[in-house]
Chains A and B, each alone.
Chain A
């Protein structure tokens, strides 16, 4: 089992609930953000020495939910401060960006890290489409086309042009090209059947976060495996990433208390504006290609919101407790899902950074030795 230390990089100095969209940036304090960035990046660098195989972050816009408008900048900050861990950008929001720029920046990161990039190519959550004024109804088309274009940009031996529906380039010849051949491993979100099929089609590692329950995660993995087999390949356990909020402390009570407080900020402050904008996008557009996928998304978020922390622990959708408890939880979830990469979202809302630090060390000393060989 591989372990990934994932950071959302939230802005944690808000004392109000907001359901506005976008979240008004009059509440933003650059000096506080500057200190947060330093703390967050230092903790990501420290993750390598705590035995994490991957260190990662992702892209969000116009919200205190995550301060990584361009996660590749964080990748650059990690490139020379880490030696062994994969730098997992999970990932760039492909339909929102210039795909050639994504291909270029990822190629830079792969060279800078000596071939340690895991290249996330994500469609993004609905509210990001408001931020960049991209029609949500075109998200899937843009995603499919852009991913193919990025792969061409990485692998084509000669300069080439691209005449697509959403992207047109007369001549492409990126410098640098990626170090890993034929290209860096791909990670694509697969939290519903449509995206699981697409991830399999692209021979990407599938990623699932914020699970409502284990059976729904299991179903996505089944669809992914089936689609991969239909496409002529067999995914390894390392091709399945499952991400969960994680808090490890000396005792179960301590971990629950910290995560409970963090989740309150996460759900009430960080998710507030996002939920409002997502409702608008989901009601008014065809962000999801099928009603079934849309309903599944809504029900997943609704379920998560209404469940208590105890219920989430019981369902196996968060990791929370003493090292011994977390070992049991990891074993149980792995037994159900059979995944090969466990992605820990460690900074849940206002969960204190010193708690995260000590949790990382507990992970290294008392969790990892018991689950490494899963």
Chain B
């Protein structure tokens, strides 16, 4: 499914976003590498109205001079949700986007229904994990199955531009203590996804989140590194769609093990 590229005027400037599909709105906040239209997004767009805002400065878009922190960026994403959806909706954040989604849920709980944190950044124990500067090393940490990666469409210039935006937003390499203190106040039903081979976000990060968020489920996706969507899209979709459709009921096995019914 080809996403439609659009723009919307927000208080700090114009924001680019992609939209695809029809149905219940679902907002997806992208990782530090920018928007990668994966099989997961494609499949979600078959059941949801998927909205994917591009954080200013990423993927060749202009930065908003007044938006210089993760907290402020979360405020901008909230404004985007208010204007495009206007009611509580499901929110997914991937890695950098997961960090952002936690800030958004903490600041504007009125806009969030289900919260999905896909290998979220922002809660790394000091000295563990992290994003290496070397592109080859980064690729090794991102993908356990690089053969599943679709052809790269971003130019080296855009990738370099994306990397510069992390310090622009004051992206914390280690745990964001201010946000950590807010976790117990986030009462949204939350699904945390983590690849069993993720070395960029260590297991301690998601365990910490799970222990502090009052209504969270943590699910490990086996045989996936940091980029779960690329390494194991089917496994991720199986959990994610069940969670979005059934809320707590996703814990129940609704299928059948009967081989010859």
A positions within 8 Å CB-CB of B: 145, 148-149, 152, 156-165, 167-168, 170-171
| B202-261 residues at the A interface, CB under 8 angstroms | 207, 210-211, 217-223, 232, 235-236, 238-239, 250-253
Kindly provide the distance from the CB of B183 to the nearest chain A CB, expressed in whole angstroms: 13
Q: How many angstroms between the C-alpha atoms of A157 and B204 in the bound complex? A: 9
Q: Are B207 and A158 in contact (CB under 8 A)?
A: yes
Q: How many angstroms between the C-alpha atoms of A149 and B196 in the bound complex? A: 10
Among residues of B, the one whose C-beta sits closest to the C-beta of A155 is B203
**A162 touching B207 in the complex, CB below 8 Å, given contacts A170-B250, A170-B251:** no
Q: Kindly identify which residue among A148, A149, A157, A163 contacts B219, using a CB–CB cutoff of 8 Å.
A: A163
Q: Are A165 and B222 in contact (CB under 8 A)?
A: yes
Q: Are B251 and A163 in contact (CB under 8 A)?
A: no
Among residues of B, the one whose C-beta sits closest to the C-beta of A161 is B219
Q: Are B251 and A171 in contact (CB under 8 A)?
A: yes
Among residues of B, the one whose C-beta sits closest to the C-beta of A152 is B220
Across-interface contacts of A157 in B (CB, < 8 A): 207, 211
Across-interface contacts of A145 in B (CB, < 8 A): 222-223
B positions within 8 Å CB-CB of A: 196, 207, 210-211, 217-223, 232, 235-236, 238-239, 250-253
Among residues of A, the one whose C-beta sits closest to the C-beta of B222 is A164
Kindly provide the distance from the CB of B172 to the nearest chain A CB, expressed in whole angstroms: 22
Q: Kindly identify which residue among A149, A156, A164 contacts B207, using a CB–CB cutoff of 8 Å.
A: A156
Across-interface contacts of A156 in B (CB, < 8 A): 207
Q: Kindly identify which residue among B196, B207, B232 contacts A148, using a CB–CB cutoff of 8 Å.
A: B196
Across-interface contacts of A161 in B (CB, < 8 A): 217-220, 239
Across-interface contacts of A149 in B (CB, < 8 A): 222
Across-interface contacts of B238 in A (CB, < 8 A): 163, 168
Q: Are A160 and B220 in contact (CB under 8 A)?
A: yes
Q: Kindly identify which residue among A158, A170, A171 contacts B211, using a CB–CB cutoff of 8 Å.
A: A158
Among residues of B, the one whose C-beta sits closest to the C-beta of A162 is B220
Q: How many angstroms between the C-alpha atoms of A168 and B242 in the bound complex? A: 13
Main secondary structure of the interface of B (DSSP, over half): mixed
Kindly provide the distance from the CB of B232 to the nearest chain A CB, expressed in whole angstroms: 8
Q: How many angstroms between the C-alpha atoms of A337 and B210 in the bound complex? A: 47
Query: Can you list 9 pairs linking A and B with CB atoms under 8 Å apart?
Result: A145-B223, A152-B220, A162-B220, A163-B232, A164-B222, A164-B223, A165-B235, A170-B250, A170-B251
Across-interface contacts of A167 in B (CB, < 8 A): 222
Kindly provide the distance from the CB of B221 to the nearest chain A CB, expressed in whole angstroms: 5
Give me 15 other A-B pairs in contact (C-beta within 8 A), A157-B207, A163-B221, A165-B222 excluded.
A145-B222, A148-B222, A158-B218, A160-B218, A161-B217, A162-B220, A162-B222, A163-B219, A163-B220, A163-B222, A163-B232, A163-B235, A164-B235, A170-B252, A171-B217
Q: How many angstroms between the C-alpha atoms of A144 and B123 in the bound complex? A: 29
Across-interface contacts of A170 in B (CB, < 8 A): 217, 219, 250-253
Kindly provide the distance from the CB of B180 to the nearest chain A CB, expressed in whole angstroms: 16
Q: How many angstroms between the C-alpha atoms of A295 and B219 in the bound complex? A: 40
Across-interface contacts of B236 in A (CB, < 8 A): 163
Q: Are B223 and A165 in contact (CB under 8 A)?
A: yes
Q: Are A162 and B219 in contact (CB under 8 A)?
A: yes
Across-interface contacts of B253 in A (CB, < 8 A): 170
Across-interface contacts of B251 in A (CB, < 8 A): 170-171
Across-interface contacts of A164 in B (CB, < 8 A): 222-223, 235
Among residues of A, the one whose C-beta sits closest to the C-beta of B191 is A161
Q: Kindly identify which residue among B219, B232, B250, B252 contacts A160, using a CB–CB cutoff of 8 Å.
A: B219
Among residues of B, the one whose C-beta sits closest to the C-beta of A170 is B251
Across-interface contacts of B222 in A (CB, < 8 A): 145, 148-149, 162-165, 167
Among residues of A, the one whose C-beta sits closest to the C-beta of B238 is A163
Kindly provide the distance from the CB of A83 to the nearest chain B CB, expressed in whole angstroms: 36
Kindly provide the distance from the CB of A51 to the nearest chain B CB, expressed in whole angstroms: 41
Kindly provide the distance from the CB of B209 to the nearest chain A CB, expressed in whole angstroms: 9
Across-interface contacts of B250 in A (CB, < 8 A): 170
Closest 6 CB pairs of A and B: A161-B219, A164-B222, A170-B251, A158-B210, A163-B235, A160-B218
Across-interface contacts of B196 in A (CB, < 8 A): 148, 152
Across-interface contacts of B219 in A (CB, < 8 A): 160-163, 170
Across-interface contacts of A158 in B (CB, < 8 A): 207, 210-211, 218
Kindly provide the distance from the CB of B190 to the nearest chain A CB, expressed in whole angstroms: 13
Q: How many angstroms between the C-alpha atoms of A164 and B232 in the bound complex? A: 9
Kindly provide the distance from the CB of A146 to the nearest chain B CB, expressed in whole angstroms: 10
Q: How many angstroms between the C-alpha atoms of A220 and B104 in the bound complex? A: 54
Q: Kindly identify which residue among A148, A159, A165, A168 contacts B218, using a CB–CB cutoff of 8 Å.
A: A159
Across-interface contacts of A165 in B (CB, < 8 A): 222-223, 235
Kindly provide the distance from the CB of A347 to the nearest chain B CB, expressed in whole angstroms: 38
Kindly provide the distance from the CB of B42 to the nearest chain A CB, expressed in whole angstroms: 19
Among residues of B, the one whose C-beta sits closest to the C-beta of A167 is B222
Q: How many angstroms between the C-alpha atoms of A336 and B187 in the bound complex? A: 63
Q: How many angstroms between the C-alpha atoms of A219 and B82 in the bound complex? A: 66
Across-interface contacts of A159 in B (CB, < 8 A): 210, 217-218
Chain A CB within 10 Å — which of B196, B207, B217, B222 has the most?
B222
Kindly provide the distance from the CB of B256 to the nearest chain A CB, expressed in whole angstroms: 14
